[in-house]
Amino acid sequence: MERRTFVRYIGTLGTVALLMPDLLACSNSKKKIVTNKLGAPLERGHLLRGNIDFASGYPVEQIQVPVLIVGGGISGLASGYHLKKNGFSDFLLFELGEQTGGNSGFGANNYSKYPLGAHYLSLANPGNEPLISFLKELKLIEKEENGLQFYNEDFLCHAPDERLLFKGVFHEGLVPEYGISEEAHAEINRFFKEMRELKSAKSKNGIDLFNIPVSQAEITEEVAALDTMTFKEYLAEKKYESEELLWFLDYCCRDDFGAGYDKVSAWAGIHYFAGRKATPGNTDPTTVLTWSEGNGYLANKLEEPVQQQVRKNMLVYSVEEQEDQVLIEAIDLHAKKKIRVSAGKCIVSAPSYVAKQILKSPSWPKSYFEGIKHNPWLIGIVVLDQIPEGNGTPLAWDNVKFGTKGLGYVSDRHQEFSPVRDKHVISVYLALDKADEQTERQRLFQMTEEEMCRLVISELTSMHPDIEQHVESISFQRWGHGMVTPYPGALAKYQEYQQLKKTAKRIHLAHTDYSSYSVFEEGFDLGRLAATAILNYEA
């Protein structure tokens, strides 16, 4: 195992201190900053790009199993969870990483756990019964009364949840409203009014036009038209011009999709606001559930019941659909052996760019996978010897600066009850979307730790000018392909997926890439639907 991998996966609090991470420091920095790169799955994924001859001499193990799941992110785990919940245990799940979770994985240092990607779950929409029942099982929803969900307050994001550095002062909330013109205020109000109306808009069949998961919405012609233009073009058409509102909407797109409002579709931009309609009984509908380890908490809960079925460190490199079976080939990277699986059915929950490479199935032509795009991300997990304060609202869970292209940072220890902290741990999120996704991906892979360090420090310094002297260490998580980016045309891709699904016999695809909207709820839904299709067949 690579030493860096070891640093990442040692996992337990308190043990990491025994390790000596890279003592590379930002050379211009006033003090030494310890840095290290995380991200073994990224390097492992790249094994698929070259040849896999390194395993040519490995012994071969043959396995027969009714169902194999490829990929243990939220979608794959959700498939396993639902199969098991319905009494079906005759399956295996192969995950490439040393831990499950994928984009919802997590790490830990001496002071805190931290998310490697996904850090929160929005409150469930009222019609999303499977998710509500899962959250009840986890006691995250404590009760339901009169159609309202009462959430466990320990896990609702504590106040202050968000603050925005605007006009030199931190203000609560992320909408820039302080001291703005009356016209700008009126526009912000007009925008949110329009979104409220779209929230309740229904098709002739009485189905929501915008809903999360997307499978619970109806894509009418009117909705499909929003997939043909960018969100920026839509806003211009509607005469939204205020600098404050436009910055806020662009920020929301970069934060949720990894690309700005000039790149994502009007459908995606609207869906972000109109698709959410939670009805909590004890909090604001826009509050989120969060943990130090982010959605790694939920990934672990999904994994618990299927631990017996999960095999980690498995690089699946071929999935071939045949008339009477699916043949899957994998390399067990730890045991150093090849695994040949003969399965009745296979759920492929690896990302689309992996599926395109490993899948040989008449139901899923290679051309289908073209055009599904992802922007790269860089996350810097920073240990500070002092709380990042500032004028105005104190440190919040999410901390953002108005007017920049940055996404700010999240305080990883926010949900802890103890106010006494020796060190602070924050995660700085950077969506790399200046150039096209290929160019940005190359830029990310070529970046030295020194360059990553400067990027993260400059993002922080723009909010806290003297912060550098308080930075002790930075760990970098690189996502070459972050979540799927819903460019114009992405909704049409989802419709194509729905069509292809109907003809698929033995291979089901379940990954958030296919719903064109990457959030926990989508992964949970796609995984559940794939499991249901298999359970129906078995019945």
Among 69, 95, 368, 508, binds ligand FAD (CB under 6 A): 95
421-434 per-residue burial string, b: 16 or more CB within 10 A, e: under 16: eebbbbbbbbbbbe
Q: Is the peptide bond before 160 cis (omega within 30 degrees of 0)?
A: yes
Long-range Cβ pairs for the range 85-89 (8 Å, 24+): 85/305, 86/531, 86/535, 88/531, 88/534, 88/535, 88/538, 89/308, 89/309
Task: Output 226 or 314, the one with its CB closest to ligand FAD.
Answer: 314
Residues paired with 507 in a beta bridge: 346
Which residues inside 96-135 make contact with ligand FAD, applying CB under 6 A?
A: 96-97, 102-104, 117-121
Q: Quote the least distance from Cβ 59 to ligand FAD, whole Å.
A: 20
Task: Output 102 or 488, the one with its CB closest to ligand FAD.
Answer: 102
49-73 per-residue burial string, b: 16 or more CB within 10 A, e: under 16: eeeeeebeeeeeeeeebebbbbbbb
Task: Output 184 or 432, the one with its CB closest to ligand FAD.
Answer: 432
Q: Quote the least distance from Cβ 183 to ligand FAD, whole Å.
A: 33
Interaction pattern, residues 341-370, with ligand FAD; x per rule: CB under 6 A:
--------xxx--x----------------
Among 316, 333, 346, 378, binds ligand FAD (CB under 6 A): 316
- State which H helix or E strand residue 448 sits in: none
Check residue 376 for interaction with ligand FAD (CB under 6 A).
Answer: no
Reported in sequence order, the residue ranges of 349-423 that DSSP labels E, i.e. its strands, are 359-360, 377-384, 398-401, 409-411
Amino acid present at 456: V
Task: Output 78 or 180, the one with its CB closest to ligand FAD.
Answer: 78
Which of the ranges 67-75, 173-181, 387-395, 411-419 carries the binding residues for ligand FAD, by CB under 6 A?
A: 67-75
Q: Quote the least distance from Cβ 23 to ligand FAD, whole Å.
A: 27
Task: Output 149 or 352, the one with its CB closest to ligand FAD.
Answer: 352
Half-sphere exposure of 296 (CA within 13 A, CB side): 17
Measured CA to CA, the distance from residue 300 to residue 232 in angstroms comes to: 38
Q: Quote the least distance from Cβ 88 to ligand FAD, whole Å.
A: 20
Check residue 511 for interaction with ligand FAD (CB under 6 A).
Answer: yes
Quick check: helix, strand or coil at residue 252?
Answer: helix
Q: What does the radius of gyration of the chain's CA atoms come to, in whole angstroms?
A: 23
Interaction pattern, residues 24-43, with ligand FAD; x per rule: CB under 6 A:
-----------------x--
Among 81, 91, 94, 170, binds ligand FAD (CB under 6 A): 94
Which residues inside 287-306 make contact with ligand FAD, applying CB under 6 A?
A: 295
**Residue 484 token pair:** 């799927």
Q: Are 327 and 318 in contact (CB under 8 A)?
A: yes
Check residue 71 for interaction with ligand FAD (CB under 6 A).
Answer: yes
Reported in sequence order, the residue ranges of 415-500 that DSSP labels E, i.e. its strands, are 424-431, 471-479
Q: Quote the least distance from Cβ 33 to ligand FAD, whole Å.
A: 22
Report H helices in 138-210.
Answer: 182-199
Count of CB atoms situated within 10 Å of the CB of 481: 23
Q: Quote the least distance from Cβ 231 to ligand FAD, whole Å.
A: 19
Name the residue with the smallest CB distance to ligand FAD: 73
Check residue 164 for interaction with ligand FAD (CB under 6 A).
Answer: no
Check residue 315 for interaction with ligand FAD (CB under 6 A).
Answer: yes
Measured CA to CA, the distance from residue 377 to residue 46 in angstroms comes to: 17
Pairing, β 337-348 against β 60-70 = parallel
Tokens 């794959």: give the residue: 76
| Residue 513 DSSP code | G
Task: Output 296 or 390, the one with its CB closest to ligand FAD.
Answer: 296
Q: Binders of ligand FAD: how many residues, by CB under 6 A?
A: 40
Check residue 427 for interaction with ligand FAD (CB under 6 A).
Answer: no
Which residues inside 478-507 make contact with ligand FAD, applying CB under 6 A?
A: 479, 482-483
Q: Quote the least distance from Cβ 432 to ligand FAD, whole Å.
A: 11
Quick check: helix, strand or coil at residue 84?
Answer: helix
Which residues inside 177-216 make contact with ligand FAD, applying CB under 6 A?
A: none
CA distances from 239 to 159, 183, 195, 225, 329 (A): 34, 12, 15, 18, 54
Q: Quote the least distance from Cβ 402 to ligand FAD, whole Å.
A: 21
Q: Quote the least distance from Cβ 285 to ligand FAD, whole Å.
A: 16
Residues sharing a CB contact under 8 Å with residue 421, sequence separation 6 or more, in sequence order:
111, 387, 413
**Residue 237 token pair:** 């058409």
Which residues inside 513-532 make contact with ligand FAD, applying CB under 6 A?
A: 518-520, 523
Check residue 331 for interaction with ligand FAD (CB under 6 A).
Answer: no
Residues near ligand FAD (CB under 6 A) are 41, 45, 48, 70-76, 94-97, 102-104, 117-121, 295, 314-316, 349-351, 354, 377, 479, 482-483, 511-512, 518-520, 523
